[in-house]
């Protein structure tokens, strides 16, 4: 475990330090929760000393907030670009974007974020607000817009598009939370992607007029 870090140390460029620390922070905060994750652990995982963390981040709280912002923003931009590009009917669009999100939330380090934010929302109101504004609402509008288009085209039946968007995303986000909480204790993992299949098919078929 240390070997891996040691090996990388050599080829690591100085400019990556803050990023590596944020990666370590996300991993640790995901695994242990904000309070139980120690700065020492983050430093160790990042391959630096405790003091170095404080060189780049004023405090544990600042580290946490920086981590959320850093992980969230680039991802959001990418996501919104996809919509503009995609073509096809609403059902196809919905499916394509859902797959992108599913992948990001299952197979990138981003997958730990929802659990962390949800768990610490009560203790970090400004992070919660930030997350709602910059992720929740934007993602919801994204999907709502697609659904609205589907309804406008007569493809979907009439429902509240934002509520429908919420239903649609909840199953995907829930899977990400699950992955970092009870999945290891459940003999029925999410790795088989039938879960997503069923969700997409039911949701879209159910929505179709």
Partner DNA sequence: TATGAATGAGACTTCATTCAT
Partner DNA sequence: AATGAATGAAGTCTCATTCAT
Which residue ranges make up the site for a second copy (CB under 8 A)? 30-36, 115, 117-123, 125, 128-129, 131-132, 136-137, 140, 159-160, 162-164, 166-167, 170-171, 173-175, 177-178, 180-182, 184-186, 188, 192, 194-195, 197-199, 201-207
Using CB under 7 A as the binding rule, whether residue 163 contacts DNA is answered as no
* Shortest CB 51 distance to a second copy, Å: 13
103 Cβ partners below 8 Å, 6+ apart?
Answer: none
Using CB under 7 A as the binding rule, whether residue 192 contacts DNA is answered as no
Using CB under 7 A as the binding rule, whether residue 65 contacts DNA is answered as no
Using CB under 7 A as the binding rule, whether residue 51 contacts DNA is answered as yes
Report the distance separating Cα 82 and Cα 152, nearest Å: 21
Of 75 and 82, the one with the shorter C-beta distance to a second copy is 75
Using CB under 7 A as the binding rule, whether residue 54 contacts DNA is answered as yes
Binder to DNA among 19, 59, 103, 133 (CB under 7 A)? Answer: 59
Q: Which residues of 95-121 are buried (b: 16+ CB within 10 A; e: fewer)?
A: bbbbeebbebbbeeebbbbbbbbebbe
Please list the alpha-helical segments (H only) found in 49-208. Answer: 50-56, 60-85, 90-107, 113-120, 125-131, 137-152, 161-179, 194-207
Count of residues interacting with DNA (CB under 7 A): 24
For residue 84, give both structure tokens: 């503009």
Using CB under 7 A as the binding rule, whether residue 36 contacts DNA is answered as yes
For residue 208, report the phi and psi dihedrals to the nearest 5 degrees: -65, 140
Quick one: what does residue 105 bind among DNA, a second copy, none, with the CB cut-off 5 to 8 Å set by partner type?
Answer: none
Binder to DNA among 33, 40, 73, 157 (CB under 7 A)? Answer: 40
Report the distance separating Cα 30 and Cα 10, nearest Å: 27
Binder to DNA among 19, 55, 186, 189 (CB under 7 A)? Answer: 55
Handedness of CA 158, 162, 165, 171 (dihedral sign): negative
Using CB under 7 A as the binding rule, whether residue 58 contacts DNA is answered as yes
For residue 44, report the phi and psi dihedrals to the nearest 5 degrees: -60, -45
Q: Give residues in contact with DNA (CB under 7 A).
A: 9-14, 17, 35-40, 48-52, 54-55, 58-61
């Amino acid at each position: 475990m240390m070997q891996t870090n040691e090996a990388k140390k050599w080829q690591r460029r100085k400019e990556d330090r803050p990023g590596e620390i944020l990666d370590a922070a996300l991993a640790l905060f995901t695994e242990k929760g904000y309070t139980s994750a120690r700065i020492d652990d983050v430093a160790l995982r990042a391959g630096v000393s405790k003091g170095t963390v404080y060189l780049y981040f004023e405090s544990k709280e600042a580290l946490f907030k920086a981590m959320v912002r850093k992980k969230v923003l680039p991802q959001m931009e990418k996501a919104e670009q996809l919509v503009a590009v995609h073509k096809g009917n609403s059902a196809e669009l919905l499916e394509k974007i859902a797959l992108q999100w599913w992948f990001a939330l299952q197979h990138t380090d981003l997958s730990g974020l929802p659990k962390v934010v949800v768990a610490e929302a009560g203790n970090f109101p400004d992070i919660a607000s930030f997350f709602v504004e910059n992720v929740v609402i934007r993602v919801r509008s994204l999907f709502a817009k697609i659904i609205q288009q589907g309804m406008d085209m007569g493809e979907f039946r009439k429902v509240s598009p934002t509520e429908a968007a919420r239903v649609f995303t909840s199953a995907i986000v829930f899977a990400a939370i699950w992955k970092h909480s009870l999945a290891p204790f459940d003999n029925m993992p999410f790795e088989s992607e039938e879960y997503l299949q069923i969700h997409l098919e039911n949701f879209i078929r159910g929505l179709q007029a």
